[in-house]
Structures are given as C-alpha cells and as structure tokens.
Structure 1
Amino acid sequence: MTTQLQPSAPSQGDLDEVAQVAGALVEAMRSVIEGKDEVIDAAVTVLLAEGHLLIEDVPGVGKTMLAKTLARALDTSMRRIQFTPDLLPSDITGVSVFNQDDRQFEFRPGAVFANVVVGDEINRASPKAQSALLECMEEHRVTVDGTTYALPHPFIIMATQNPVEMEGTYPLPEAQRDRFMARVSVGYPDARAEMAMLDHHGSASPLEEVRPVTDAEGVAALIRTVRRVHASPAARQYVVDLAAATRTSSAVRLGASPRATLHLLRAARARAALRGRDHVLPDDVQALAQAVLSHRILLSSEAHVARQTPERVIADLVQRTRVPGGR
C-alpha cells in the first residue's frame, strides 16, 4: 500500500508573486470596470482556480466588457463567440475538412481553441450548440470525428447571459450550469462610479489602453501555486458539510453536486493565495459559497411560494452549518 504525498505548501515568495501579478491584473480591470471590485475579484479568483465564469445580469451593465477586459489584461490568445440560434457545434469546436492537395482530412480548430473564450449571450444558442461546450469545460479537450485535441492551458470560458429577456433563448441545462465554477451579477453602478464611467468612457474606450500584465506561462505558474495551498481536513469537511446541507434542505429540490464541492475548495484555495495565505480558512469558503453554489441548486415549490432566492437559501445554510474546529 502506497501513501500519497501531499504537495508542499507554497513559499512566501510564490505567494508574493501571486499577490503582485493578481494585483496588477485587478488594477488593469478597475481602469475599465468602475466600482465593481467584488466582481473583478471573483473573475480573477475563478481564473486562478482553473474554473469558468458565468456573468448573468440585465443588458448594459458591462457583462461583456468585464470578460473582454480580463482577456485584454492577459497576453494570451482570446476568442469571442457570439451565440446565436443558428450557431453550429462545429463553429465552436472545429471541423475536419478534406484537403484536395494532400488527399487527406485536416482539422481546422474552432473558436474554443484559445486561452480565454468570451461567450456572449450563451443562452441564445440552441441546446445542440451549447452541448459542444460540455467536454471543453470539464476536460479541456475537444473530440471531433473520433480524434481528441487538447485545448490551450490555461483555459477559461467567460460566458454572459441576460436573465430578463427570455424570448428566443434556450435556458442552460443543469449539466452545463454545473460546469461553471461561479456565477456573478455585475449590477448597476452607484452614482459616483457612473459619473466616473461618463468621464472615462465618454470620448474613448479605456479598454484600448489596457496593457497585458502577464502571459499564459505566468498564469500557469500562479495556478500551480494555488494548487499547493493547504486545505486542512477541517476545511475540507466544512466544504463537504455545506454541499450536504443543500441536499437535505427542505427549500432545495436539487442540491449541489460533488463537482460543486470540488469547485468550492478550488476557489477557496485561490482566494487564500490572493490574500497571501498558504492555507484555507472557513472565511474563504463562506465568502465564495453563494457565487459557487447558488446557480447549481433548484428550489422547491414551497421555497418559490415563499419568494426565496437561491442566494438567500445558500446564505441561510452557511449561517446554520457548523464550522469544524482544528487546522
């Protein structure tokens, strides 16, 4: 019987590098996105936790701008996919084309072959086109005509959707929603941030002035540091207990999946590293619980009648779930 060795905790130098690069990334995004520090922090956290981000809000609040700003701040490949009802799966994953000169089929990569993929209005594509992302998001690869192709590393999908205008849309199936590590809402800016937006966006787009702060290899190094952040048995038990609470609550019809448990721990590791710690605290888990879990649960009919929201249910479960002791 072999004993699996735990990776060593990141050094202070590694954590300082995470803080330095992530800080520069956040500042670059703040120069475009006014007054939304929590949303920016969530995007950077998901990036370092190797997840995907779903940005859901009403039109005009900067969903696509947020995704494009993160992509511009990284010196990596970026593709944008405008999801429409006539979008084909091959437009996303790629297609094999017969080459007349070589008398052979050659693979032409689709739009998903990039480090950062911005999916605009993802719920406007048909379920057939949406399903093309399932393998990409979970396994970071694409299978076309029986051949599997690896996607670039790092790889993140930042998708937007409008929850208000439902005509001509196809709601994301639970299997796909579950593959998004977190869901955030941008929300309306406050008066001061909106005034600053008028000043900065009135004559030119600040997005054009954003300069990359790191490249793909730099992001990959930060991800390796995040993976080594220590999560004690008590911290891991707390994550499991929160997920289990969603499965036994009378307000929830469908609870969080085991994938949600894994995503919550990964995101907590990234949050800890961004704050200069080499270990996960319950505060990290609590701070991310709503963003990671709320879009994965389905409320019971009684909860709907009581006008509960997934966010409120998760907040109540966090309050009621005991924090295990010990580090």
Structure 2
Amino acid sequence: MHTALDALLTAANQIILGKQHQIKLAVCCLLARGHLLIEDIPGVGKTTLAHTLATLLGLEYQRIQFTSDILPADIIGASVFDVNKHQFTFHPGPLFNQMILADEINRSTPKAQSALLEAMEERQVTVEGKTYRLPQPFFVIATQNPSQQLGTFPLPESQLDRFLMRIQLGYPDNKAERELLTGKSRHHLISQLTVQLSPEKLQAIQDTITEIHTSPALLDYLQAIINFTRNSNDYSCGLSPRAGLALMTAAKAWAFMAGRDAVLPDDIQAVLAAVVGHRLQATNNDSNAVVAPIFQHVAIP
C-alpha cells in the first residue's frame, strides 16, 4: 500500500510543481475520508490539483462550476415526469460521482452552497423525501477565491466545518515557474497519467487508518490543544468536538503516510494549521497566525 501511495505522491508532484507539502496534505485529507477546501487566487493550480488526484485515484470525477445563478437542482438532480411511465423519475445530478470539484464555491449563493451539506456529512442526499446514497468513496474538493474579491459569498461556519482541511497553494517558486513556462501543458500531462491507487485500495487504507494507535499521552496533548482554544482570549470561539475528531483523524492519516502505526505529537503539529485554520476565528482577525498561540502555549509531551 505504501508503495502505491509513494507512486501517487511522486506522480502528483510532477504535475503540481514545488508544492510537495500541500499535495501531501491533500492526499492525507482524502485518506482520512475528509473533504478539502483550497482557498487561493485564480490561476495557481487549484483545479489542476483536483483533476490530478482524481485521475491518479481512478475516481469518477465531475467538475461543477459554481456561479451566482446555479440552483440546488443543478447540483443534486431533480425529479422529472416520465410521460411513458406516468410517474416522476429522479435524474441524478453531477453530485453523483466519486470526486466532486466544487469550483469557485463562494461565487454561488448560500442556497446553492447548502446543497452540499447533507452530501458532505452523510454521503447521501434527500430529494422530495426520498434518500439516495452517493457513490463510494465520495470526496468534495472545493475551491474558493479570497473573500475580498468581488462577487463572492463567504461560506458560513456550518459549511466550513464540513471540510476536514483548508489549504492554500500560493505562487510557485522561480524554478517551478520556469518549468511551467517552458514545459508541456498540465492538461497534456494529466491525460498521460495512470491510476496509482485504485478506489478499492484507497478504501482499504482508510479502514486501516482508523486502527492507528493513539496513546493516552497523545490524547492528553490533543485535549490540551482543544481546551486552550476554548479558554484563550486569542480566539472568539474554541474548537468543537467535531473539530477535535477531525484533528485526530487527520493525524492518524499523516502517521500512516509516514509508515507508523501510532500517532506522534509531530503528526498533530503537521496537520494542525490545515485542520483548524478555517475553524478558529482569531480575535485580532489575523487568519495567517491563527495557530501560533497553540504552538507557543501548549506543551508537547
């Protein structure tokens, strides 16, 4: 399993240049059965990353372009009257795929954004009182532009909390950008990729990750972080129990990627910013330094 995982990371790094840590976080998020939010300016590779991962994992992939006029039925699907059968028949929307790219999600209205809530939490959707299961595995990778850009609708806290991680890609360094300027197009390179980790192997890894060991000392450290955010004046609101579970699950996946069967404090520190950065609101509104007080004040066992 680790051989296939290493091959996946190597292949992804050949497409998304100079972003090894962000790619590892994205893969970690998927291994932990989480959804990923990528927030950055247009043109830095957000969509390319999602397409690359879907191809390498052999997942059914669908991109949904979120716009101000998109409706929930455009995402989930709708019941249409069948004249021949004299009854309504449900026609699944693009949400019924294994990996969904919700592109520029904050360009749509809150009504359209909320269409993803049940799907992300329950892996199912309910239409006119009937429940439909989504394909497994099921992942949502959403991209959004910085909230200060025109024509955006900020995601509410309930929607943000559905994402296990939020990452930013940023500009490439000079070496990576030179290769982008002089090399083949990313679309051409993606078309040549082969599946490195099948959906079946992916689900097997996900089941293995749930068995990764967490010692009492490690859990003490995790709870110390959670309690610090709840009692500190640095944050307007502390981490919820769901956020604590998310942090533990992501740390287990990171430990698995490192080839270990137990979580270390280093694993929690590696995923901390990506897992809690969009869940914590700093009292000074400095989102870039939101986890700094945790590193400064919570002792490492």
Q: TM-score range by the shorter chain?
A: over 0.9
In 1, the alpha carbon distance for the partners of 2:158 and 2:292 equals 23
Q: What corresponds to 2:291 in structure 1? A: 314
Deviation at 1:313, TM superposition (A): 3.0
1:132-143 correspondence runs (5 A): 132-143=115-126
The secondary structure found in structure 2 opposite 1:183 is strand
Q: What corresponds to 2:183 in structure 1? A: 200
Q: Which amino acid aligns with 1:236?
A: L
Deviation sequence 1:27-56 (CA, Å, 0-9, x none): 121121001000100110000000001001
1:89-168 correspondence runs (5 A): 89-163=72-146, 166-168=149-151
Preserved CA contact (<8 Å) 1:58 1:164: no
In 2, the alpha carbon distance for the partners of 1:138 and 1:317 equals 28
Deviation sequence 1:123-173 (CA, Å, 0-9, x none): 011100000111111111111111111111111111111105532111000
Q: Which amino acid aligns with 1:200?
A: G
In 1, the alpha carbon distance for the partners of 2:186 and 2:259 equals 38
Q: What corresponds to 1:209 in structure 2? A: 192
Preserved CA contact (<8 Å) 2:234 2:293: no
* Shift in alpha-carbon separation, 1:98–1:242, aligned structure 2, 3 A: same
* Shift in alpha-carbon separation, 1:45–1:202, aligned structure 2, 3 A: closer
Deviation at 1:236, TM superposition (A): 2.2
Preserved CA contact (<8 Å) 2:280 2:290: no
In 2, the alpha carbon distance for the partners of 1:203 and 1:98 equals 42
The secondary structure found in structure 2 opposite 1:212 is coil
Unaligned runs of 5+ in 1: 1-16
Q: 2:168 aligns with which of 159, 165, 185?
A: 185
In 2, the alpha carbon distance for the partners of 1:147 and 1:313 equals 41
Equivalent pairs counted in the alignment come to: 301
Preserved CA contact (<8 Å) 2:255 2:264: yes
The secondary structure found in structure 1 opposite 2:213 is coil
In 2, the alpha carbon distance for the partners of 1:202 and 1:114 equals 26
Preserved CA contact (<8 Å) 1:51 1:181: yes
Q: Determine what percentage of the aligned residue pairs are the same residue.
A: 47
In 2, the alpha carbon distance for the partners of 1:98 and 1:236 equals 54
In 1, the alpha carbon distance for the partners of 2:133 and 2:185 equals 42
The more displaced of 248-257 and 231-240 is 231-240
Preserved CA contact (<8 Å) 2:46 2:169: yes
In 2, the alpha carbon distance for the partners of 1:42 and 1:108 equals 35
With normalisation by structure 2, the TM-score equals 0.96
The more displaced of 118-127 and 246-255 is 246-255
In 2, the alpha carbon distance for the partners of 1:175 and 1:233 equals 30
Query: Is residue 41 of structure 2 the alignment partner of residue 64 of structure 1?
Result: no
The secondary structure found in structure 1 opposite 2:69 is coil
In 2, the alpha carbon distance for the partners of 1:173 and 1:297 equals 13
With normalisation by structure 1, the TM-score equals 0.88
Deviation at 1:259, TM superposition (A): 1.2
Q: What corresponds to 1:299 in structure 2? A: 282
The more displaced of 237-246 and 30-39 is 237-246
Q: 2:158 aligns with which of 175, 180, 196?
A: 175
Preserved CA contact (<8 Å) 1:115 1:216: no
Deviation at 1:316, TM superposition (A): 2.1
